[in-house]
Structure 1
Amino acid sequence: RACTDGVVQAPAPARLIEGGLPTDALVAHVLVSKYADHCPLYRQSQIFARQGVMLDRSTLADWVGRAAQLLRPVHERLLAKLRGSGKLFADETTAPVLDPGRGRTKTGQLWAYARDDRPWGGTDPPAVAYVYAADRKAERPIAHLAGFGGVLQVDGYAGYRVFAERQGVRLAFCWAHVRRQFVDFAAKGASPVASEVLARIAALYRIESEIAGQSAEVRRRAREARSRPLLVALERFLRDKLALISQKSTLAEAIRYATSRWTGLTLFVEDGRIEMDSNTVERSIRPLALNRKNALFAGSDRGGEHWAVIASLVETCKLNGVGPQGYLADVIARIVDGIPQSRIDDLLPWAYPTIPGLKATARAA
Structure 2
Amino acid sequence: MSDLPDELPSDPAELRVFAAALLDRCARLERLLKLAKDAQFGRSSEKLDADQLQLVLEDIEEAVAALEAAEDRANPRICERRTAERRTNRGQLPEHLPRIIETLMPAATCCPSCKGDLVEIGRDESQRLDVVPAQYRVIVTRRPKLACRACHGVVLQHAAPERLIRGGLPTERLVAHVIDAKYHWHLPLYRQAQMLATHGIAMDRSTLAFWVGYAAQELKPLWHRLRELLLTSSKLCVDETPAPVLDPGRGRTKTGYFWALSRDDRPWAGPDPPGVVYAYAPGRGAVHGLRLLEGYRGIIHCDGYQAYKTMIRETRADALSGTLAFCWSHLRRQFVKIEREAAPAPAPVAREALKRIAQLYAVEKALRGRSDAERRAGRQAHARPLAIALKQWFEAKLDHLAQKSDTAKALRYALRHWDGLTLYLDDGRIEMDTNAVERAMRPIKLNAKNSLFAGCDEGAENWAVLASLIETCKLNGVSAEHWLADVLAKLVNGWPAARLDELLPWASIYTMHAHDPRLAA
- For the aligned pair, the TM-score class normalised by the smaller chain equals over 0.9
Q: Deviations over 1:63-94 (max 9, x none)?
A: 11101111000000000000000000000111
Given the alignment, which residue of 124, 127, 135 partners 2:275? 127
Distance 2:495 2:375 in 1: 43
Instruction: After TM superposition, list the pairs within 5 Å mapping 1:156-305 onto structure 2.
Output: 156-165=304-313, 166-187=319-340, 188=343, 189-305=345-461
Q: Return structure 1 stretches of 4+ with deviation > 3 angstroms.
A: 1-9, 357-362
SS class of match (1:32): helix
Q: CA deviation at 1:255?
A: 1.1
Alignment partner of 2:312: what SS?
Answer: helix
What's the CA shift for 1:358?
6.1
TM-score if structure 2 supplies the norm length? Answer: 0.68
8 A contact 1:16–1:333 mirrored in 2? yes
Look up the SS of the partner of 2:419 in the other structure: helix
The SS at the match of 2:195 is helix
Are the structure 2 counterparts of residues 308 and 3 from structure 1 closer, same or farther at C-alpha, using a change threshold of 3 Å? farther
Q: Aligned AA for 1:315?
A: E
CA contact (8 A) 2:338 2:406 kept: no
Per the TM alignment, residue 6 of structure 1 is displaced from its structure 2 partner at its CA by: 7.6
The answer to whether the 8 Å contact 1:321/1:357 transfers is no
Report the alpha carbon displacement of residue 210 of structure 1 after superposing the two structures with TM: 0.4
2:260 maps to 112
The residue aligned with 1:21 is: 169
Contact persistence 1:321–1:358 (CA under 8 A): no
Task: Give the match's secondary structure for 1:105.
Answer: strand
Rounded to whole Å, the distance in 2 between the matches of 1:168 and 1:242 is 33
| 5+ long unaligned stretches in structure 1 | none
Q: 1:3 to 1:251 in 2, by over 3 A?
A: farther
- Which residue, out of 142, 150, 156, partners 2:298? 150
Deviations 1:128-180 (A, max 9, x none): 00011111110112111111111111011110111123212111100011000
Separation (CA, whole Å) in 2 of partners of 1:357 and 1:337: 27
**Shift in Å, 1:190:** 2.0
Deviation of 1:38 (Å): 0.2
The Cα RMSD (Å) is 1.7
The structure with the largest alpha-carbon Rg is: 2
Structure 2 residue identity aligned to 1:37: W
Corresponding residue number in structure 1 for 2:198: 50
Preserved CA contact (<8 Å) 2:278 2:468: yes
Deviation at 1:9, TM superposition (A): 3.5
* CA distance in structure 2 between the aligned counterparts of 1:81 and 1:184, rounded to whole angstroms: 38
User: Is 1:356 aligned with 2:508?
Assistant: no
Per the alignment, in what secondary structure is the counterpart of residue 135 of structure 1? coil
1:16-95 aligned within 5 A: 16-95=164-243
Deviation at 1:3, TM superposition (A): 6.5
Rate the CA distance shift 1:142–1:359 in 2: closer, same or farther, 3 A: farther
- Return the TM-score normalized by structure 1: 0.96
Aligned-pair identity in percent equals 53
CA separation of 1:316/1:227 partners in 2, compared to 1, >3 Å: closer, same or farther?
same
Kept in 2, the 8 Å contact 1:94–1:108? The answer is: yes
C-alpha separation in 1, matches of 2:388 and 2:238: 27
More helix per residue: 1 or 2?
1
SS of residue in 2 equivalent to 1:298 = coil
Q: Residue 2 in 1 paired to residue 149 in 2? A: yes
1:246 and 1:66 mapped to 2: Cα distance? 58
User: For the residues of structure 2 that align with 1:226 and 1:124, how far apart are their CA atoms?
Assistant: 28
**AA aligned opposite 1:173:** F
Deviations 1:240-287 (A, max 9, x none): 111101111111111111111000000000100000000000000000
Q: Distance in 1 between matches of 2:321 and 2:378?
A: 28
